[in-house]
Structure 1
Amino acid sequence: MPTNIGEGGIDVGGIARIGAADVERLAQHKLKTGDIVFSRRGDVTKNALVRDFESGWLCGTGCLKVRLGRCSIASPSFVSYFLRQPEVKDWLIRHAVGATMPNLNTGILSAVPLRLPPLAVQLEIVEMLGALDERIALLRSTNATLEAIAQALFKSWFVDFDPVRTKLEGRAPEGMDETTATLFPDRLDVGDEGERPAGWSRRPIQDVVSAVYDGPHATPAEADSGPIFLGIKNLTGTGLDLDEIRHISESDWPQWTRRVTPRADDIVFSYEATLGFFALIPPDLRCCLGRRLALIRPHAVDGAAHFWFHQFTAAPFQRWLEKHTIHGATVNRIALKEFPSYPVLAPPIPLQLAFDDAVRPLWARIHKNSAQAKTLAAVRDTLLPRLISGQVRLPDAATTLNEAIA
């Protein structure tokens, strides 16, 4: 599906599955290793190179595939990189059909002009850029593992109440020191909303954080550089994707941060369209809120930002959002004015801080890895057109590559 086309590869998150009978019926749409897949409409500039383990998957109706076949002058990997150059992306947009939404067809893709250096040079370029992509993929995979660890800990402590249940059985909770274990009660109370550890309460969001801010309801002029204007497209669900960003000018910065200037450990979220998406603002990110985005600011003292972030992304609060979603004709939304009154689980502050202390190092690594991945992607995107045009010699590129990965 088009939503599974990443920048250079297939994103398997949320990928559709079909039955065996349909696979045979749609056999002519099977992908092969080295195929290059595009979206038919929308963002037509991205392409995904099919890898060995993806061979046999099906090309959805919203996608187009390029197959080089038995070609002795072109490497599929090189062609995939070539098609990701800014000038080629501009070419695709200019030649796409459709007044409101760009559309591709096989004729347009067949007409893309290619510049092919000798095959040996293509393979050297692919090896260099592939090393950067592998490093980026490793950093992102590591981040997914680190986040899963933090999510699992929150679920154990504050959704399943494992430490409380363990103490109910007369045993000491595992995986924590004695000081932390004493913060959990040894009794569960049962009320209208189900079980809850004794002494814990449910309180409105506005009572447990410093403030909730709405973003601007307009979009500033785009600039070539400057602070980042966050948009819904930058939210992934539990994080920020800053591969494609919009800048605003320094002169516009005061106006677009008049309500609030996001800072590290603030929690940004969407209240229209992509509901339930939350992200922690990482250190050193100079940004402002875009349309349909809002921000939660934890208390400056004992704010436990990571605790609240994980509560907002955990299943109980996500179910609450689904229950209070306003379904519209074009987009769904939640009433932002009511958001501060939504109830959240509020264990004692020392326990919130104990969780925050446990996962903060994980998130520090996640933020560091994300920053490094962004730097490596910038190096790759800078080298790509220069290598292909011959502006940068391969030995010089190798030096740049080694410095970036080191």
Structure 2
Amino acid sequence: MSCDWQELTLADIAESKGGLVDGPFGSNLPASCYVEDGVPVIRGSNLTVGLERFKSEDFVYVSSETLKLIKRSECLPNDIVFTKKGTLGQTGLVPSDSRYERYLLSSNQMRLRVNTNLADPEYVYYYVSSKASVEKIKRDSEFTGVPKINLDYLKKFPIIVPKLTVQKKISKILSGFDYKISVNHQINQTLESMAQAIFKSWFVDFEPVKAKIAAVEAGEDAEGVTRAAMSVISGKADEELDQLQAEQPEHYTQLKTTAELFPAAMQDSEFGEIPEGWRIKKVNEILELAYGKPLKEDVRLPGNIPVYGSNGQIGWHNEKLVDGPGIVVGRKGNPGTVTWVHTHFYPIDTTFYAMPKGPVKSLYYLLYTLKKQKLPLLAADSAVPGLNRNMVYMNKMIVPQRDILDLFDIQLTKIYQKIQVNKEQSEVLAAIRDISLPKLLSGELPVDAAEVVGGDL
């Protein structure tokens, strides 16, 4: 480590007045203080263990008047938030580009406001969120025998600090990785919204079928009826379809083939009107929810097989339990959550995994149909904690024609392949960032050398 680097504490780099504070006493922030909208309250659910920065969702709110009464616990952009009990090691960097100008700490959080003449908030965030810092917090908490930390502990927490210019360079390098990961995440959210929109249009709102019915009622011939469905499926007007036919005839033919598969009439069912020829089946006629298997963390071996619990991926292993792609459904812990897995995977015993049977082979259709079943609510209604698969089996679902499901699979396979490419790229970027981070924070990796790598992003 260079002689220009100093070993300080968080108290040394905090603002002299109100730089390190904790949340209000619980009695000063009861649930009765919450309002529908106002000043967002930062809770543990807005923080992460690692480098996700901040989750700007799942807020509860208090009024401006409530904030004034406990203003000491106010948070501003670029403040760093720590959990003092609960999931220790969680941190968050309050975003500077948020629509909120101020926040309030919840009772279980603490806040650091950095003196920007001494330290860069991003640099400090990366330091306290690093694997070494998180492990130290957990280790120190276990040593005390109390699963929590306090403000005094945070004040004494050590941090290695180079010159401010070097801090900012390090922050810029690491945030470059985070920015690209964030962009990939946003792209994937858009792609997932597109997939959801196709499912809703075809299988919930029946828009292609209704467009055909309207065209028939308007006296259109067979070609006009098909074109009406093509317009709904593609989002293109007649003039745009003509242009598509002239410039991309193969694409036009594929679109026409898709449109022709949808019926031009509805039929009565227990769900109300559904497209003619489609059926209603019980869930147990369409899929099996198979049990995952136990796989404790201490018996997992290094590998590239993702391990899934009820709240998503929880680790890695060297052996698969299920061939991918597949669907994981939370059984205990977070019952009813539905997660798509692109690769081979290992679902543990707090989950089910879906196995198609009967007339529906499309995993993508089953994915969105299961999400539409509102399984978390079904689990909440159960007398026994968790999701009972027999209750799921009693639900019913619409079964479209096989040819339409095959085309739906083709459409969504293209979308989910793009999602997976972005996800894998983000995993590589995160791995490079995580390898570089401790070396940058210790001075082992020269900033100039890291800037060359970061410049290629």
Equivalent AA in structure 1 for residue 47 of structure 2:
I
Query: Structure 1: which amino acid aligns with 2:323?
Result: R
- Is 2:61 the counterpart of 1:12? no
Deviation at residue 224 of structure 1 after TM alignment: 6.2
1:276 is the counterpart of 2:336: yes
Structure 2 distance, partners of 1:281, 1:340, is 22
Could you say which residue in structure 1 is the equivalent of 2:181?
136
* Aligned with residue 296 of structure 2, among 196, 219, 222: 219
Letter in 1 for 2:107: T
**1:98–1:185 CA distance, 2 compared to 1 (3 A):** farther
Structure 1, unaligned stretches of length 5 or more?
Answer: 236-241
Match of 2:44 in 1: 2
Cα gap change, 1:71 to 1:90, in 2 (>3 Å): same
Give unmatched runs, 5+ long, in structure 2: 1-42, 216-224, 235-254
Question: Residues 20 and 119 from structure 1, CA distance in 2 versus in 1: closer, same or farther, beyond 3 angstroms?
Answer: closer
Q: Which amino acid in the other structure matches residue 445 of structure 2?
A: V
Partner of 2:195: 150
Task: Kindly indicate whether residue 214 of structure 2 is the aligned counterpart of residue 169 of structure 1.
Answer: yes
Sort the Cα spacing of 1:158 and 1:321 in 2 relative to 1 into closer, same or farther, 3 A: farther
- Equivalents in 2 of 1:220, 1:15: separation in Å? 31
- Give the whole-Å Cα distance in 1 for the aligned partners of 2:369 and 2:423: 22
**The one of 388, 393, 397 aligned to 2:441:** 388
CA contact (8 A) 1:231 1:291 kept: no
- Contact 1:146-1:362 at 8 Å conserved across structures: yes
Q: Deviations over 1:40-98 (max 9, x none)?
A: 22222121111223441222223211112x34221111110011222211111122269
Alpha-carbon distance in structure 1 between the residues aligned to 2:417 and 2:359: 19
1:189 alignment counterpart: 267
Assess, with a 3 A threshold, how the Cα gap between structure 1 residues 328 and 105 changes in structure 2: closer, same or farther: farther
Q: Determine the C-alpha separation between the residues in 1 that align with 2:58 and 2:282.
A: 33
Partner of 2:407 in structure 1? 354
Paired residue total: 378
Distance 2:45 2:380 in 1: 23
Give the corresponding residue for 2:323: 263
Q: Percent identity?
A: 22
- Preserved contact between residue 337 and residue 376 of structure 2 (Cα < 8 Å): no
Matches within 5 A, 1:334-353: 334-340=387-393, 342-353=395-406
Residue matched to 1:296? 354
In the TM superposition, structure 1's runs of 4+ consecutive aligned residues that sit over 6 Å from their partners are 97-101, 299-302
1:264 and 1:301 map into 2 onto residues whose CA distance is: 20
Equivalent position to 2:281, from 203, 207, 211: 203
CA distance in 2 between partners of 1:392 and 1:106 (Å): 32
1:373 matched residue in structure 2: 426
Bigger Rg, which one: 2
Q: Secondary structure at the match of 1:355?
A: helix
User: Which whole-Å CA distance do the structure 1 matches of 2:143 and 2:443 have between them?
Assistant: 35
Distance change in 2, residues 1:84/1:328 (3 Å)? farther
Q: TM-score, normalised by structure 1?
A: 0.84
Q: Equivalent residues in 2 for 1:232-243 (5 A)?
A: 232=309, 234-235=311-312, 242=313
After TM superposition, give the deviation of residue 269 of structure 1 in Å: 1.4
Cα distance, 1:189 vs. partner?
A: 2.7
Superposed CA offset, 1:19-49 (max 9, x none): 4443444433321122101122222212111
From the two aligned structures, give the one with the greater strand fraction: 2
Q: CA RMSD in A?
A: 2.7
